[in-house]
Amino acid sequence: MIILIQLLACIAAIVYWKNYKNTPLWIFLPLLVYTALNELLITVFLNLGVKISPREFYNVYSVISFLAYLYWFDKILKLKYWKWIVLVIFLSATLYDLLLGQEVKQLFKVGLISQAIIILSFSVVYFSRLLNEDRVIHYWKIPEFWFILGLLTFYIGFTPLLLITGLDMGIGRVYAISINILNLILYGCYIRGFYVTSK
């Protein structure tokens, strides 16, 4: 189900490309193409019986996606020197996971938690600024609103799930269902955001 909504988001990104190609939103097209290809590769390898750990793919994805999000937030929030501080924090957390904390075949938990905290913080900053602008009256017409709403919802739901993974609490099924729902919301918001660029 996740791959389907990712492909739909890719299609929306391509269809509405001309409306946002000269804005910071352009970064989402290559990110979504990479996301869908990543998910397809994992699915194909697993179906062919290739012995891989999907988490290795997701670890690389988490770094690449964060760099794309950081670029985008920098463009819309004007982070200035903060972006370098944030980048050092995230890369340090990821390096900790890689060198000291975990095997590559496990999710980079410290890196992902730092990513979640950073994106949630940026989202709060964006919404607090938006509340002080006149255009907040027509918030549903602002593409960035939809993208950030999707990210905010995803990370609010994902962070607690990430914190309890590996605690032998038997939440495998709940985790899978929750991730599917969170991805539906995330990519659904992306699709809505792309649609809004045409208005």
| Proportion of the chain above pLDDT 90, given as a percent | 75
Confidence of residue 78 (pLDDT cuts 50, 70, 90): very high
Q: At what angle do helices 54-77 and 82-96 cross, to 10 degrees?
A: 170
Confidence of residue 177 (pLDDT cuts 50, 70, 90): very high
For the entire predicted model, the pTM comes to 0.92
> For residue 147, with 0-12 CB atoms within 10 Å meaning exposed, 13-18 middle and 19 or more buried, which class applies?
buried
Confidence of residue 139 (pLDDT cuts 50, 70, 90): very high
pLDDT value of residue 102: 56
End-to-end CA distance of the chain: 29
- Say how many domains are in the chain: 1
pLDDT value of residue 170: 66
Domain span at residue 145 reads 2-196
The more confident residue out of 169 and 56 is 56
> For residue 55, with 0-12 CB atoms within 10 Å meaning exposed, 13-18 middle and 19 or more buried, which class applies?
middle
- What's the pLDDT tens digit per position in 35-50? 999 999 999 998 898 8
